Structure formats: structure tokens, C-alpha cells
Structure 1
Amino acid sequence: MDDTKISRRVVVTGGASGIGLAVAKAYLDSGAQVGVVDLTSTDELSVYGNRVHTRIADVSVETKIATAIDELSQAMEGVDTLVACAGIDGELGASVAEATSAGFRRVLEVNVLGVFHTVKHALPHLIKEEHASVTIIGSDSGFVSAPGMLAYEASKGALVQVTKALSLELYVQHGIRVNSVCPSIVDTPMARKGLGVESFEGAPYPVNRPEDVARSVLFLSSFQSRGINGVNLLSDFGFSARSSFVALEDLSL
């Protein structure tokens, strides 16, 4: 089956900036209609005309995201693809002694509960469609750790298992595939602000571009990947595969 023959009516949360914006543009460039949900709007998608539909909503507030998805489904006459991208980084750099309960809770509310709300309220629309899919934007922080990122890492670790659990339930019951893309650091405004840098140019480590993540998202939602379900796809240049074996240092790896 030719994937281009599948209707694409896509909802992207967190689609006004960063990875979400790149994902929205990628689907629009492929000819899809895209519904963008975010806390703010963006003028960058205006060039796509009436194929863009926007709603302002906080994914952590269930009634708000439910209404936004229902309205977008009505505007696009359905939803067959969901990309849950909305997320925050929280109190980066804070040790466990310095982190606050309120800050930790807020990260979990947006990054984990927000995904739950989004999938739950998109489901009544997705089950009506053939070849429907959900893609969650996770992080390599769901697999590895760095200091000062406790809440963020906890939330992304949770999404690894959320992806697996949803992939089983939704595929068995409805034929809906659920996967996630888990990049290492991505050159976004949030990442630059969180790390206190103006640019990643010349960084001593590889950095994903938002467009890199977007391409992975498009593939995972396409008919060509119809056998892929329950996968947390790492996009980390292979760093998580490295051994701690000291001799590797002698190999300049």
C-alpha cells in the first residue's frame, strides 16, 4: 500500500516551537492537515494556510486538551495521527536537595500526565481511522542519567513504559500503533536556555536537529513502518551503547 494514499490528519502537541514545530512543518510539507496544540501560537506555520489549525491549551489540564482535540478533529474531519510532543525540562541543574516538590510535580504533570490526557482524548477519534498511530517524544534521559535532571529523567523514564503499555493495549484492541522517539540533546530554544548556551556550534558532542527527530516521527507513523510497535527509538548517536570499559579510551572512541 502506498503511504501517500493514507489521509494524514495530524495533531501535534507542543507544536509551536522546537521539536514540535519541526514535526508540524514536516507533516505539512508532506501534504497533511495539522492541528497544533500549545500554550502559545506561532506565525511560522501561517504560510501553510488553511491546512493548519491551532488551539491554545495546557496538556496537563484534562478538560482543556480534551476540548482542543475535539475541536481539531471537527476542523480536520478526523484525526489519524497523534504526536505527543509537549514537554518541559523543569529545574535543570538542581540537586535532589535543591529541587522543589512543586517543580518536580509540574514536570510530571506536563510530561507524563499530559501524554496520558492527550492519548486518552485522541483515542475516540483515532479508533475510527485505518492505520492510526501515536508517536510520543521521549528522550535518551529515559535511559541514561546526568546530574541535576532528576524530575526530567523520571518523567522520560516513565514515558518509556507508557509507550510499551499503550502499544500493547491500543494495538490489541484497536490496531493503533504506539512508538516513541528518544533523542539526546536537540538544538531547540528550550535546550539552549536550559544549558545556558547561545549556540551548540562547536559543541564537543553531537547534537540532534529538530528536523532529525521530525523525520523519525514521520517514518514511525507511516505505513512503511506498520510492523513497528512499542519501540522507544533512541536517537543518540550510539552513546548509550558505549561500554564503561576503560580500554575504550585507548581506542579513541
Structure 2
Amino acid sequence: MSSFSNQVVIVTGAASGLGLVIAHKILNEGAYVGLFDINEKALREHFVDHEKYEELIGLDLTVESEVEAAVTRIVERFGKIDVLINCAGITGATNLKSHEVSTENLQKVFNINFMSSFYTAKAVLPHMLANNYGRILHIASIAGKEGNAGMLAYSASKAAVIGMTKVQGKEYAETGITVNALAPAVIQTPLVDAMPETQVKYMTDKIPMKRTGTLEEAANMAAFIVSPECSFTTGFTFDLSGGRATY
């Protein structure tokens, strides 16, 4: 039996990058999956022939009412929510000193990287509490632990995600719900491909393995974290950094 047979999973940012690979992995292991992304067209291109197991929802994750409606739609169709994996995120403008950062851009990055994760967790937690079971995974970043020069908005927003993970892990520790984060270093994704080469080199040079991580490596670790087998770890930020973070 697969770890995710008959489980209901929501994946945000499912139309590209890490969210896309995780969603396919979870689907292949027998889960019913709510696929959330602002790019509904891309969702429909990437997810075909599994209509029984998929609910594709295009929405703006920074709008709380849209998140609430989407979560309700998943519960109405599949009856419950077992797992939430928050992958939606952007880097925003990079390779900038702090005094050069646009306030508008910083707020946009926070809205997508932090507020959307808060909204989704807030919406699913009552359903998990009703069943005395749940797994929430917030995708953070090594930048949230160490801070990447030239990436104030991204680093600070991911630090906020790590802080939320610690709080939520403690708050729900006795309920059968675990809340953890995953902090990758550089993973080869379209988001990274779009960054300036100098910024990517700065980050990769800090990795003792001297390479980027793969989407498959990230998806495999994410799947373990939200599996029933990962039952005695909560409020923790898992490392996926090729040796860069050892704490």
C-alpha cells in the first residue's frame, strides 16, 4: 500500500517547479490532490488523465477569501484534508542592496511567500483538527536561515515562514497534526533559472557539494515529511542544502 492511498493533499504552486514535481509524485502514490496555482492554464497542461484524483483550481493565493473558497471546494469533493504542501513562492527582485529594494516589491514577495502560506494553513487546520490528523509542510529556504545578500525580501519572507512553522508546530503538537518546513539551498527550478547568474553563483558557491539540488531530491524529502511515517517531528526545518546548513 502506498503511503498516500486515500489521502487528500493540497499542493500550492502546483503548476511549475517544486510544486509540480511534488504533486505528480503524490498523485503517483495514490493520493487525491487539490492543485492550486494562479496559472490555471498551466495546471491543465500539466495534469491530464487523472480526473478522478485531481481538482484543479486557479486562484490568487494572496486573497484570503479565494483560499477559503478553494479549500471548501476540496473538502466538498473529497471529504477531508490530510496534507497541505505550500510550494507557491517568488524571489522578487534580487541582486540589490537593502536601500535599493522597492517597498512594493518587498510587500509582494511577503504576500506570496508568507501570507499565502498563512491563509492556506488557517483554512485547512480546522478540517485537520476535526480528524485528529494532518501534515503541513511549508517550503522555506536556506536564505531564511542565513540570509542571502542581495535578496532581502526573499530571505526575510522565508525567515517568517520558518518562524510560523515553529509556532504552529508547538500549537498543534498534541493533535495528531505536524507542521514542518523544508529549507532548500539552490534547487534547479524555473524560478532559479530566471535569476541573475551572479546571484545563482553566489548561492551555489556556498554549497559544500558545489552543485544545485534536483527537483526529485526535494520532492522525495517533501513526500517523507508529510507521510504518516514522519510522526514525531514537528516545528522543525529540514535541511536540503548540500551541506551548507548543518544545524
TM (norm. structure 2) is: 0.89
SS in 1 for 2:223: helix
CA displacement, residues 128-154 of structure 1 (integer Å, 9 cap, x when unaligned):
334311011111111122221001000
CA displacement, residues 159-192 of structure 1 (integer Å, 9 cap, x when unaligned):
11110100111223x3210011111111111110
Contact kept? 1:84, 1:136, Cα under 8 Å: yes
> Does 1:149 pair with 2:151?
yes
Contact kept? 1:179, 1:230, Cα under 8 Å: yes
> Does 1:21 pair with 2:26?
no
The answer for unaligned runs of 5 or more in structure 1 is 243-253
In 1, Cα distance between the equivalents of 2:53 and 2:87? Answer: 20
In 2, Cα distance between the equivalents of 1:10 and 1:16? Answer: 15
In 2, Cα distance between the equivalents of 1:67 and 1:196? Answer: 39
Mapping of residues 189-204 of structure 1, within 5 Å: 189-196=190-197
Aligned to 2:179: 178
Moved more, 89-98 or 9-18: 89-98
In 2, Cα distance between the equivalents of 1:47 and 1:196? Answer: 38
- Quote the offset at 1:3 in angstroms: 6.7
Percent of aligned pairs with the same residue?
27
- Quote the offset at 1:228 in angstroms: 1.2
Aligned to 2:215: 210
SS in 1 for 2:99: coil
Tell me the amino acid that sits aligned with residue 175 of structure 1.
G
- Quote the offset at 1:12 in angstroms: 0.6
> Does 1:232 pair with 2:237?
yes
TM (norm. structure 1) is: 0.87
Tell me the amino acid that sits aligned with residue 91 of structure 1.
A
Contact kept? 2:2, 2:30, Cα under 8 Å: no
In 2, Cα distance between the equivalents of 1:5 and 1:140? Answer: 28
> Does 1:12 pair with 2:8?
no
Contact kept? 1:131, 1:223, Cα under 8 Å: no
Aligned to 1:72: 74
